[in-house]
Every structure is written in structure tokens, then in C-alpha cells.
Structure 1
Amino acid sequence: MTETTDSMPDWEKRFRAPRVSLPDWAEDAPDRSLFVSNATGTYELYAWDRATGEQRQATDRPSGTMDGVLSPDGESIWWFSDTDGDEFGVWLRQPFGGGEDVPAAPGLEPSYSAGLAIGRHGASVVGRSTDEEGTTLHVVRQGAEPAEIYRHRESAGVGDLSHDGTLVAIEHTEHGDAMHSALRVVRLDGSAVAELDDTQGGTEELGLGVLGFAPVEGDTRLLIAHQRRGRWEPMIWDITSGEETDLALDLPGDVHAEWYPDGSGLLVAHSFEARGELWRYDLDTRELVRIDTPAGTVSGATARPGGEVEYLWSSAALPPQVRSTAGTVVLDPPGMKAPESVLVEDVWVEGPGGRIHALVQRPAGATDPLPTVFEIHGGPTWHDSDAFAAGPAAWVDHGYAVVRVNYRGSTGYGREWTDALKHRVGLIELEDIAAVREWAVLSGLADPDRLILAGGSWGGYLTLLGLGTQPEAWALGIAAVPVADYVTAYHDEMEALKAMDRTLLGGTPEEVPERFEASSPLTYVDSVRAPVYISAGVNDPRCPIRQIENYVERLAARGAVHEVYRYDAGHGSLVVEERIKQLGMEIAFAAAHLEGGGSEPEQG
């Protein structure tokens, strides 16, 4: 180990240690795989030939690259090329073995991506989203002009392309509810074949999602996700006959699935109470058999042609690994290993909308009460889990307890919990956060005078809204890429997020101004008492910079203590050193402005 590595603090090592994603593999050439790694200091795509063991960096851009797909024959890599993280770009294609990048869909102008399905019979489907056109889907064939097969103002996306390349499954929200999709299957000329819509005929709208066509030539079965029993679970829909096969899996929590490569069974991913596990469901015997995985979180899994399953696993204490049910580590990147962190504790708190699940980490051997960071997740349709996270681990290293709250709006606790946000957006989540805050103080964990509200994206939004609506509750706020001025954010953000905001708030700012006002941090900015740290990507299409500047100007006008860091990227950075820099600045801000807070960040 070098002297530089020896002197590097653990929290920086967790960011710099090489990581890899779960490899995707080409359906008709399973030895060819594609994965993401930060090995160069920037997250990029890598091609991996399992037969020879050769790994090759496929992309190399200053801002990094995350979105890539292998063609079924393994001959080419499609990857999405945007500008400095603004998510607005085009698909490029390069040979698997390396070579020139060329436009994968010539004739299609830059856009936000609305999905991609690469066919094995010469036709692929590319989804596009723009503010001017809404969502359009196009069939792309080499040597021919792209053919538009779908267009609508509301958000939609490519679900999947059938194995024989004749059918396209589309998720759409033509009914206007961006939280609950309906499904349509069309031919390559755009003509409709089948429709499934759970948003009609009831007092509550239910969503559907595409999980994938059967991996067999001529098979018209489509694996889908539904919410008919109050949670996500899989079902098989035969497009030709219309038959729906209800699997009725007896598992609590959300259940998703994908096909085994031969179509004989399903690999079931089960998420419950912030943990994840895997099962195999045999379609002939209807037997459900648990696949042995360690306690923690399985954040991705795939069944290989030989029947073994590869999965990405971690826990709050142990760094991620790509493992196989064959008993091996599939990908073990060279270089230093990320230091372990501390275990997570589960806490259940009674809240105004039901029991709230929170995850707590505290420094080993520390004496309560502690300075405490409430690290609020984004989404809002997401959830914190017992998974390795370098950010919370860094706060723990510096003497802070970390509390993460799966507030109403989070996934993994049933449809009713996720859908509870509508109309009183932001305020509902903060009620749950306040209930957990009260528990943290009364239990003796948290020092009430040293409480930090922090988060990124939707978590950054809740941070700014909480500082204004609960000014006496928080000693400091740290908001990364937040919504700060909801009205301006709506007008500047990408079209798909406009649709989501219309769903959450019941209309546009012009139609329901009182709701936007009640849910906007800008409304309460003059009530903020705590020092505020804000970071923002100048190319961010999700939480655009102008609305953040509006909020900052109001802070500055009243002389409020604040610090703003602007960086040249989009909704977060894919550059490791940039991530370390940002977290170091956040920890330093807390140490400077929180009396009796944690320690200053160590410098490597």
C-alpha cells in the first residue's frame, strides 16, 4: 500500500475504492457483458469478454457515462451521450471490441431518453421526450429513416420488444396520472394489439409496469408488474389470448421478477422493510424456492443461461460485491478495498399516517446524545435500505449519528404509503420526519441542539422546506440539487417531471397556485434560522439552477448565513473527486456552524 493510501482517511477510501455494477450480458452471446465502474475516477462503461477475460473501457468523458445497453447479439454497445450531465442527447453505438462511435439512430434529434429496446431482427425502438413534442417512440432500422410509431403529450416510455421483434410494449400515462402507468402493446407499424389499464373503473388508480417479454421466439407472454393487492407484484399477461396469470406470491412487501433465460421460471426479487432477497418461481410446478443470499440488500440480480444467479449485494456495514449463487465473486475490481462501516439499526415510530420505518447508524462506542444528521432520501418514490452508502458512513466517521427516514411517499411499504403524498406535497413527508426527530431526541440518541437536516434531490427539497416550516427543529441544513422555488422549477424542468408534478399537486402552478405555494421552500425562506449549505449542478434538468438562485437571492437579501457551491454537471456528479470534494465541504460547513458538532473532515 502506498504512503498516499496509508494516510487517506477511511471516508475518502470508500469513494475512491473501485466499484462495479451488476454486469448486463448479451442475450444471444452471454459471454459478452457490459458494466459500470469508477476505476479511473469517473464512472464509465466497460465491455467484458468473459471467454477471454478481457475488459475494455468503452466510454471516456469528463462528466462520466452511466447509460449503456448491449445488443442481443453482443456485437455492439449503445450508450447515451449528453452534454455535461444535462440528460439531453442521442444514442451512440460502438463495436463491442472497440472502434468508432456512430449515431445509433440517425435522423433523431437530441432529446431526453424515454427508453430503448434493441431488437435482434434489425429493428430497435427508441423513446424520446422533449418539451415541445412530449413523448415519441420510433422504430430504427439500419439504412432507413426512423419511423414514428407513438406520440403523446403525457409521459410514456419503451417497455420492451418481443423476442421475435414484432411487438412493442409501451408504458404510458395518457390518462394524466404520471404515478400510475397503463400498458399498450403495438406492432412495429404502431397499430395496437392489446391494452391493459388499471387506472379506470375505481376510486383509486393502480399502476402497471413492463418487466419483459418471454425470452422465447414466438412467445407472446409479457411479464408485468401490478398493484391490485396494494403492492407491486408480478403477473403474466398473454398478449394473444388476453389471459392473465396471477402468481399470487405469498411474500410481504414489494415483489418484482424477471424471466430465466429459457422461460421456465422467474427470478423473483423481494423487497421488505429495507432488505432484499431472491427467490426462484417455477412456472410449471408453481413452486417458490428461496435463493440463499446474505442479510442485507440485493440491489440487482440476473439469471444466467446455466441457471446460476448473479447479484449485486451489500449491507450498511459491508461494501458491495457482485456475487454468484455458484459461490464465487463475479467481478472483483483490483486496487484498494472500501473500509467497512457500522451496522444499521431498525426503528419504528408511530406517525400521523401510520408506522414509520427509520434506519439508524451511530459511531461505535459513542456516548449519546450525539450530533445527528437526518439524511433524507430522494425520489420521492424510493427508499433507504440496509445497503452500503459512502455518504452516511462518512458522517458516522466524523462523530455523527445518521438517521434515514422512509417517509410516506417511499416505496417498499405498499401502494397506500407511496401514494399518500398527493396535494400536500412535502408537508406530509416532513410530518413523518418530525415524528422520527421527536423519537431521536426523546430516546436520548440525538442532541436537540445539534440536529442537521440534509438530503439530495427530493431530499434536498425536503431539507429547504423543513428549514422554513420547522425553523426551531433544526440547527443546520444541507441541501444538494434541491427544488427551492417550486413554481420556477416546474417551468424550467424536463417535461417528464412536469407531468409528475401535475400528478402530485393536482395541476399546474396556474391551475392550483395555492398548492404550489404551500409546498414551495421559497414561500418560507424568510423563516429560515439555521445556516444553510446548498450545492447545485449548473446543467441540472431535474432541479434547474435558476430556481435555486431565486432562493439564494432571498437568503442573501436578509443576511442569512448560507454557502452555495455550483459545479459544472447535472443532477449530481459521476466524478469521484468531485463527490469527495462536495461531501468534504458539507462536513466542514457543519463543523464550522454547529456548536459542539462533529470533527472537521480529515484530508488525505
Structure 2
Amino acid sequence: MTESNGSLRGGAAETPIASIATMPDWEKRFRAPRTGLPRWAEDAPDRSLFTSSATGTFELYAWDRATGTQRQVTDRPNGTTGGVLSPDGEWIWWFSDTDGDEFGVWVRQPFHGGPDEPAAPGLEPSYPDGLALGRDGTAVIGRSTDKTGSSVHVIRPGHDAVEIYRHQQSAGVGDLSHDGTLIAIEHTEHGDAMHSAVRVVRVDGTAVGELDDTRGGTEELGLSVMGFAPVDGDSRLLVGHQRRGRWEPMLWDAVTGEETPLDIDLPGDLDADWYPDGSALLIVHGYQARSELWRYELGSGELTRLDTPPGTVSGALPRPDGTVEFLWSSAAKPPVVRSTAGHVVLEPPAATHGVTHAPDSVPVTDAWVEGPGGTVHALVQQPAGEGPFPTVFDIHGGPTWHDSDAFAAATAAWVDHGFAVVRVNYRGSTGYGRAWTDALKHRVGLIELEDIAAVREWAVASGLADPERLVLAGGSWGGYLTLLGLGTQPGSWALGLAAVPVADYVTAYHDEMEALKALDRTLLGGTPEEVPERYAASSPLTYVDEVRAPVYISAGVNDPRCPIRQVENYVERLKLRGHPHEVYRYDAGHGSLVTEERIKQLRLEIAFAERYLGRPASDRPASERPASERPGPRG
């Protein structure tokens, strides 16, 4: 049993960095600088803001396209990713929290450099819940705290912040209209944190219109704000809805009450954004773990596919000249910012360690497996040679998320070390229709694990996976499912690797940020006091004494989503049993933005796996052996 603490300020650099010539490919994939999609000022499109890991930590960068000049905006030990440009491009707003705890204040600095200054004087620290900036300098700020719930504040130039909205249930700022007169708010006043309603109000908070698909039907449907029309005087709001069993856009004018459905004949989920002149929509079509871009003409309804390679578009924005810039990758190819004009838009700033580009990995293949709730889609990557392989079931977080044919440095690292990797889009995942996403209520965790079990059986029967060397792994919700699976399916897994997990559901509920409390009440049907049997059934702590596989846990000590106290409760139970485990605590929140810290954590996980799976089964104690060689329940 091992327990260790790390520090992003020093602990991550304990292992000397190899020279580029001797550095393994898996480390190069992490150290190669990553760059996010540049977002430009609406009225100054030559001024852009993007994130990059060029220094070894993800920070914000300003890019003046007219001169080609780039400069680093933020420089903090634990990194920065939350930034917004004002419409005129004069100011960069960024969110300042403490060591990844997600609790802080907005600050701003001039685009071309200068000291930071408070951007919202008078507002106390909070969790951020959306930000919209107007052309006249108005700022609309969404915020929440555990004590006061969610609120929306308007700050006009030269005036103090004015609260225009407050509710105990979660809510956030969706957008501010082009002329600065209307505000769209997503809210869950009805109590279902998985399905938002949309309210449009004036800047003084008076109501204009409400769109709520949770009312009047047998099923609750969600809405999302995609953005106001980019034209003065146009009050139409682009809204995502689920009325036909998937996410797709429509137009809603809160002033007139008119709703305009959009007939877009594509089979998957549809995200959308406006072209700058308001004449067309950019459609991001996600289907079967891949995505593509289309242009939809609002006047004629014409739909035109844009040229993108097979893989995943992680973000896309239309430019004023009609081209689209997008961040693309595939499982085999690292991310790159491309343009539909045919060129690479942005090369990353020079990297600290001299690694310029990430090596490729292997492509992904698809598996479709019949599960207890329908067909489950899984993505598979495997090393060269013939199976069966030791196999990592890398379970995604969320739960409302999905794995896709996109580049993942950690997945590629496991393949480099001889492991196959299987990623499962279990019930609860997005991308496969509303019914699939909403299926996990009340039997939380257990439903997802049924789907994972079905894919596990397929992987073994197909000859891909070695049944005696199966690793259950994941981060956040994936870490939660890892610990829950080790306890509820103890004969199925040889090892567990859980990062920033929910480990003790009741304590997690009481310690986590308010927005996640609301989500848990929705998923489980109430609080731990109201439905204790559901929390017990879904909590890894309930089954900790059944765990047979060695357990590795990593956790951020400042994590507001999966707080450290509930992890410690689980670890203490492992200690009392004398069960083989290792715990690594680090000085950050829900994951790390520091490259060397991420490498260190993965290196520790790989070493833990090789330490246990690398030994013959006959040399292991009974508690660590595969199910086929363990004693039965009576000994």
C-alpha cells in the first residue's frame, strides 16, 4: 500500500525529462504543444484568443492576426483556460480561481498587454455560470455559490452590478443579444438539472418570454441556448431542443413568440452557430462518435457539406469571409486547427521542451455490442500483434458525454505499452439520442456498468482481451464507475485505476458544488436523506469490502466536483482491510492543466498496472488473482 502527495509546483518534476532523442512517443504526445480553437472578437475579427500548453501549462494567448503577433496573457502555476474577448477586441476577460477550485472572480486586461484589473467590482467570489459582453461595455455575469444558489448580474459602464435573477436551482447566462437589449438565461427552476428551460429577459430583468419543454408532456425535454442572431434589431434566438429524440436547432423569437423549426435531414445530434451576417447556420453533425460540418441556408433550406476529414470536430467558428475554422483530430492523428479554405490556421507557440509535434497513434475501430438496454457502441484501439491483450476499459466522464474518434494521448500511451484500449459509450452517454442519455436515472452507475459488462464479455469472446488482465479505469464519472465496478463486479477485473472519482456518494453530495447537488437530486430522485437506499445502491463505498483487485486512486485536493474528503473515506476502508492500493494526491482541482503533472500521473498508473499484471497469476496472493483462480465465497 502506498500513499503519496504531489505538488504542481514541484512534485511533478521529480523524474528528469529525457532528451527528445530518447523520449518515448507517449511522453512526446503530452509535451507537444496543444492549441485550442482561436475565438475572435465579433467586431474585430483580427483579434483572437486561444489556449495553448506551449509553456508546459495550459494558458491563454492573444493573437493579432494583422501583425502575426502572439503573446501569453496568463501565467499561473495551475494554468488558465476560461477567457473571453470583448466584442471590440479591446479587453480579455479571464476567470481567476485558486489552484483549480473553480471558485473565484473575473479579471480583465487590455488586448495588447497591461496589468490585470477587477472586471466585476463588488461581486464576491463564486463559481462561474456564464458570461456575455455587450458592445456598449455591458457585462452579464452568471454566478453561483453553495449558500445563495444561482444569480445573474448586469454591470453597465460606470455603474455597480445589479442582480436581475436569482434562484436556488442551477441557472446560467446563455447569451446577450447583438444590440444588448435581451438576455437569454438557461434555468432549471422546475428541479430537473438534466433538462434546462430558457427564459429571455430585458437587461433590467423583466421577462420577455419563456420556452420550457419540461411542461405538459410525459417526458421532460431539455433546451440549450445556441446564440442570438448576430444582427441589430433581430430578436431571434437559436435554441437547441430534443423534441424529436435528439439535439437539433430551431429559431425562437421571445418578443413575438414565434417558433421556427428547421428541417435538417441528418441522422445524428446537431449543434449550430450563426454565420456572421445571419444568413446561414453552421451545423456540427455528430453521429456514431464522429462529426462533420454543414452549412444551412436559412432562406432556402439548402444544406451543403463542408470539407472536413473523417474524425472529430471539437469546435468550429465561421469567419466573416464565409470560411470556417475548426479544431479537428482523429484517434490516429493529433489535433490541428484547420480552415475550410484548406490550410492550417494556427501553429502552436514554441514548446518549452522542444517537442514540436505529437507522434501519431493507431486508428480506432468500432464495436457494436448487444446490451441489456440496446446496442452499445464501443471504440477499440489495439497494439500490433495478435491478441488476447491486456486491456484497459477506459470509461469516460460526464456522464452526459461520449467518447469519439478523437486523439487521446493517454489512450495512445496504453497502446504503446502493449495494452488494448476499449472505450464504451454506455447508457447515459450523449450522441445516441435522448432516450439513451436519459436512461440511467435512479439506478445510477449500475446501468452503465451493465453496458460495460456486455462489452467486456464481447472483448473476451472475440479474442481481443485477456480475461485475466482486464483493467477498469476512468476519470471523474469514469473514476466513479471504476470504483463501483470493482465492488459490484469483483470477479471481472484484475485492476482498477480511478482518477478524481466519486467514492462515497453521500459525502460527495454534501461536499460538492451546488450545481452537482442538483444533478444528483435529478439522477437519484432526491437527496441522500430522502432516498437513502438509492444513494447506498449507487455508492462505491457500499461495496468496498467486496473489492478484490488492486486499486489506484488519484485525486485533486482542491476538487469541487469530486471532493477529497469522500475519497479519503473510501481509502480509509481499504486501509482497514489491508487491501492493496495506492493513492496519489496532488495540488489542483478536478484534473490538471500542467503537462508534467499529467505525465507523472499516467506514469504512476502504468507502473501500478505493470507491477500487478506483469507477474504470473500463480505468484499473486488470492485477493489479487483473476476470478477463475480465486477461492469461492466460503473460502
TM-score (normalizing by structure 1): 0.98
In structure 2, the residue matched to 1:453 is 472
1:373 counterpart SS class = strand
Aligned mates of 1:167, 1:3 — CA distance in 2: 55
Contact 1:450 1:595 in 2 (8 A): no
Aligned mates of 2:41, 2:310 — CA distance in 1: 29
Measure how far apart 1:239 and its partner are. Answer: 2.0
Measure how far apart 1:575 and its partner are. Answer: 0.3
2:21 counterpart SS class = helix
Equivalent residue for 1:347, pick from 350, 364, 367: 367
1:194 counterpart SS class = strand
Aligned mates of 1:474, 1:122 — CA distance in 2: 56
Equivalent residue for 1:336, pick from 342, 353, 356: 356
C-alpha RMSD of the superposition:
0.9
Aligned mates of 2:410, 2:206 — CA distance in 1: 48
Structure 2 unmatched runs, 5+? 1-16, 617-635
Q: How does 1:582-593 map to 2 (within 5 A)?
A: 582-593=601-612
In structure 1, the residue matched to 2:501 is 482
Equivalent residue for 1:21, pick from 36, 48, 51: 36
| Amino-acid identity (%) | 78
Equivalent residue for 1:41, pick from 30, 35, 56: 56
User: Are 1:358 and 2:378 matched, yes or no?
Assistant: yes
In structure 1, the residue matched to 2:539 is 520
In structure 2, the residue matched to 1:602 is none
Q: How does 1:65-144 map to 2 (within 5 A)?
A: 65-144=80-159
In structure 2, the residue matched to 1:601 is none
In structure 1, the residue matched to 2:487 is 468
Measure how far apart 1:142 and its partner are. Answer: 2.9
1:378 counterpart SS class = coil
Task: Letter of the 1:446 partner, please give it.
Answer: A
User: Are 1:58 and 2:73 matched, yes or no?
Assistant: yes
Equivalent residue for 1:392, pick from 375, 386, 411: 411
Measure how far apart 1:538 and its partner are. Answer: 0.1
Aligned mates of 2:310, 2:424 — CA distance in 1: 20
Contact 1:89 1:111 in 2 (8 A): yes
Q: How does 1:247-326 map to 2 (within 5 A)?
A: 247-326=262-341
1:6 counterpart SS class = coil
In structure 1, the residue matched to 2:591 is 572
Task: Letter of the 2:145 partner, please give it.
Answer: T
Task: Letter of the 1:363 partner, please give it.
Answer: P
1:428 counterpart SS class = helix
Q: Deviations over 1:65-111 (max 9, x none)?
A: 00000000000000000000000000001000000101110000000
In structure 1, the residue matched to 2:208 is 193
Measure how far apart 1:266 and its partner are. Answer: 0.1
Task: Letter of the 1:572 partner, please give it.
Answer: G
2:19 counterpart SS class = helix
Measure how far apart 1:367 and its partner are. Answer: 1.6
Q: Deviations over 1:532-583 (max 9, x none)?
A: 0000000000000000000000000000000000000000000000000000
Task: Letter of the 1:125 partner, please give it.
Answer: V
Aligned mates of 2:193, 2:614 — CA distance in 1: 44
- State the 4+ residue runs in structure 1 displaced beyond 6 angstroms: none
In structure 1, the residue matched to 2:518 is 499
Aligned mates of 1:109, 1:423 — CA distance in 2: 36
Task: Letter of the 1:136 partner, please give it.
Answer: S
2:194 counterpart SS class = coil
User: Are 1:439 and 2:472 matched, yes or no?
Assistant: no
Contact 1:237 1:243 in 2 (8 A): yes
Aligned mates of 1:233, 1:143 — CA distance in 2: 40
Task: Letter of the 2:493 partner, please give it.
Answer: W
2:558 counterpart SS class = coil
In structure 2, the residue matched to 1:30 is 45
Aligned mates of 2:424, 2:155 — CA distance in 1: 44
Q: Deviations over 1:274-310 (max 9, x none)?
A: 0000000001111000001000001100000000000
Task: Letter of the 2:468 partner, please give it.
Answer: D
TM-score (normalizing by structure 2): 0.93
Aligned mates of 2:575, 2:390 — CA distance in 1: 27
Equivalent residue for 2:165, pick from 150, 162, 176: 150
Aligned mates of 2:226, 2:360 — CA distance in 1: 34
Aligned mates of 2:107, 2:255 — CA distance in 1: 34
Aligned mates of 1:576, 1:269 — CA distance in 2: 30
Q: Considering Cα pairs closer than 8 Å and 6+ residues apart, tell me whether 1 or 2 has the greater RCO.
A: 2
Aligned mates of 1:122, 1:474 — CA distance in 2: 56
User: Are 1:383 and 2:402 matched, yes or no?
Assistant: yes
Measure how far apart 1:463 and its partner are. Answer: 0.1
Measure how far apart 1:124 and its partner are. Answer: 1.2
